[in-house]
């Protein structure tokens, strides 16, 4: 599931709350959620953890966490 889809079912303010938990600005998090900026490897793992695995790091950063051929 993408971050945008994840937040489509959440209450207003959920993005800001997660940005605070992750220790990043709401502006930067908005760019990550929209797909305009990729998260760092550390942030991708943290997002996966904070969404209880609903948003996978492999989807956020397939270049870093994709399957090895």
For residue 19, the enclosing domain spans: 3-65
Number of domains composing the chain: 1
Residue 51 confidence class, pLDDT cut points 50, 70, 90: very high
CATH at 47: 1.10.260
Contact indicator for 65, 37 with CB cutoff of 8 Å: no
C-alpha 23/C-alpha 29 separation (Å) is 10
Phi/psi-derived region of residue 4, left when phi > 0, alpha when psi is between -120 and 50, beta in every other case: alpha
The mean per-residue pLDDT over the stretch 15-30 comes to 96
Q: Model's pTM, two decimal places?
A: 0.89
Look at the block and give the residue holding tokens 């990729």. 38
Residue 14 confidence class, pLDDT cut points 50, 70, 90: very high
């Amino acid at each position: 599931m993408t971050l945008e889809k994840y937040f489509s079912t959440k209450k207003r303010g959920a993005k800001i709350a997660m940005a605070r938990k992750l220790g990043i600005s709401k502006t930067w998090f908005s760019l990550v959620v929209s797909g305009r900026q990729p998260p760092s490897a550390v942030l991708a793992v943290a997002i996966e953890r904070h969404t209880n695995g609903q948003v996978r790091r492999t989807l956020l950063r397939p270049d870093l966490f994709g399957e090895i051929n």
